[in-house]
């Protein structure tokens, strides 16, 4: 997956180190509940962010609710390196409490002709016999939409001069 920004790598990376950005991004996420669990601004310029987003059971698609009862609490951790030679890298992990689901991925934020490009590679694993593949595809498609939404939000945040 990849998305482009009309601003520099440094501008995108700077907002990733901004607590107010994360609070606003989570509030805009569409989750029924969202919280910033921690943000660790490292001295080297990197940042680690842990978030939890909750989707209420009544809002879940039928494909998901038939295999998971109750609300989904999705925890996500992003560990970003500092910008080095114009590039920042990330390791991103995600899990759902009480569900046999894990997401691991890596991202690379690099300069592009238009500004910056975020390329993201993710592995989704759902350990449910027979239907795990369908759920993996569903989650993968949701990740693509999430990446697009986060790009739009981040671009708007930067354009707004925050």
| Residue range(s) defining the domain that contains residue 33 | 2-159
Low pLDDT (below 70) residues in the chain: 63, 65-66, 68, 129-131, 161-162
Three-class secondary structure of residue 73 per DSSP: strand
Question: H helices of the chain, where?
Answer: 9-16, 19-27, 62-65, 132-159
What's the CATH number where 76 sits?
3.30.530.20
Domain count along the chain: 1
pTM of the model: 0.86
| pLDDT score for 65 | 67
Residue 62: the pLDDT is 72
């Amino acid at each position: 997956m990849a998305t482009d920004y009309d601003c520099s790598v440094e501008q995108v990376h700077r907002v990733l180190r901004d607590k107010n950005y994360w609070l606003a991004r989570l509030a805009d996420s569409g989750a029924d509940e969202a919280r910033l669990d921690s943000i660790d601004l490292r001295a080297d310029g990197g940042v680690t962010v842990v978030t939890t987003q909750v989707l209420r059971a009544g809002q879940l698609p039928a494909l998901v609710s038939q295999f998971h009862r109750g609300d989904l609490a999705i925890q996500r951790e992003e560990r970003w390196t500092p910008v080095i030679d114009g590039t920042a890298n990330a390791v991103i992990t995600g899990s759902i409490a009480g569900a046999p689901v894990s997401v691991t991925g890596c991202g690379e934020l690099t300069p592009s002709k238009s500004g910056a490009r975020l390329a993201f590679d993710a592995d989704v694993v759902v350990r449910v016999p027979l239907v795990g593949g369908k759920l993996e595809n569903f989650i993968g498609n949701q990740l693509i939409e999430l990446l697009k939404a986060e790009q739009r939000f981040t671009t708007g945040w930067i354009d707004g001069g925050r």
